[in-house]
Amino acid sequence: MRFEHVGGVVCLGETMVVMVPAEPGPVHLVRTWHRAVGGAESNVACHLARLGVRSSWASAVGDDAFGRAVLDAVGGFGVDVSAVRVDRDRPTGLYVKEASPQGSPVRYYRRGSAASGMGVEMIDRLGLGQVELVHLSGITAALSDSCLALLRELLRRPRHGFRISFDLNWRPALWADRDPAVLRELADQADVVLAGADEAELVWGTGDPRRLRELLPGPASLVVKQGAEGATLLEDGESHFEPALRVEVVEPVGAGDAFAAGFLAATLAGQTPSVRLRAGHLQAASALLTAEDVGDPVPDDVSGPLLHADPRTWASARLEV
């Protein structure tokens, strides 16, 4: 599943360093850690690059070792990171996964981060004259007043030759001191909106695709991800549903970003609603089949036939490690 001739995409948002315990036991006794990076928007950019789409990531990182690690990791996927601002005064954001028998809570250390200092001046770094799509998420709106102003200004301006996609990406911890009502305002001004039914239920009071369309009449395309059931696309007054693939799940984290990349790549390539949703499911499967946020795409000899398979063949497919 490749989309080499698709135009450029720029993804805007924070990416942080992730610290994960490398040994069992209470986190305060852990002495060895694995370092990784994590960010919804850069994940989308990395998936797009893996699919052959020219992609870039715009953000800000600190002038520190963590910032350089983030740039190396994202750039290593073939993503253009030249639009990232290196902030000499603010640090790169960090979060820590605390493994425990009760689960794996995440602790964020992002207040005052370099990315939280982004504002409307970032728009000049996006290269809007050379891209076909700008990808945003609701996470950025919660980082700071200046980040919210950045999204509002970007969505307010006239669009010449490009579209804006907006992934809800609900992170309740980020909204403790902010009003999430702004997310509906932002989403309704985008061209493409993606949201999980479960998170939409929490934020907007419903995960039903038709009711969500009534709440968000503005976007040309509205995608509601319904977990293992499938996904629904509402567009041009019609509703299209494609069941999800059956997958041997290794790790669920990152599947939403992968789905967004697959769907957006196929959308830019002018594919049919069915193929676009299937491309999302196939790329999500690539994330579910690995412990990494960005794994290898499903091989072409598997994904190609499935994209255009009849409904019975698609429904009977199962992907395993």
- Predicted confidence at residue 183, as pLDDT, reads 98
Q: Is 293 exposed, middle or buried (0-12, 13-18, 19+ CB in 10 A)?
A: buried
Structure tokens of 134?
A: 């700008």
What topology does CATH give the domain 9-313? UDP-N-acetylmuramoyl-L-alanine:D-glutamate ligase (3.40.1190)
- Predicted confidence at residue 100, as pLDDT, reads 56
Per-residue pLDDT of the chain (321 residues; tens, 9 = 90+): 777 767 799 999 999 999 988 887 777 888 899 898 989 999 999 999 999 999 999 999 999 999 999 999 999 999 999 999 999 999 999 988 876 555 567 788 888 999 999 999 999 999 999 999 999 999 999 999 999 999 999 999 999 999 999 999 999 989 999 999 999 999 999 999 999 999 999 999 999 999 999 999 999 999 999 988 999 999 999 999 999 998 888 777 778 999 999 999 999 999 999 999 999 999 999 888 877 778 788 888 888 899 999 999 998 898 886
Are the C-beta atoms of residues 246 and 313 closer than 8 Å to each other? no
- Predicted confidence at residue 254, as pLDDT, reads 77
Are the C-beta atoms of residues 25 and 69 closer than 8 Å to each other? no
In this prediction the pTM is 0.93
Residue extents of the structural domains in the chain: 9-313
User: Residue 51 corresponds to which amino acid?
Assistant: L
- Predicted confidence at residue 104, as pLDDT, reads 61
- Predicted confidence at residue 88, as pLDDT, reads 96
Catalytic site positions:
257
Taking the alpha carbons of 122, 131, 45, 213 in that order, is the dihedral positive or negative?
Answer: positive
Question: Could you tell me if residue 267 is left (phi over 0), alpha (psi between -120 and 50 degrees) or otherwise beta?
Answer: alpha
Are the C-beta atoms of residues 314 and 278 closer than 8 Å to each other? yes
- Predicted confidence at residue 191, as pLDDT, reads 98
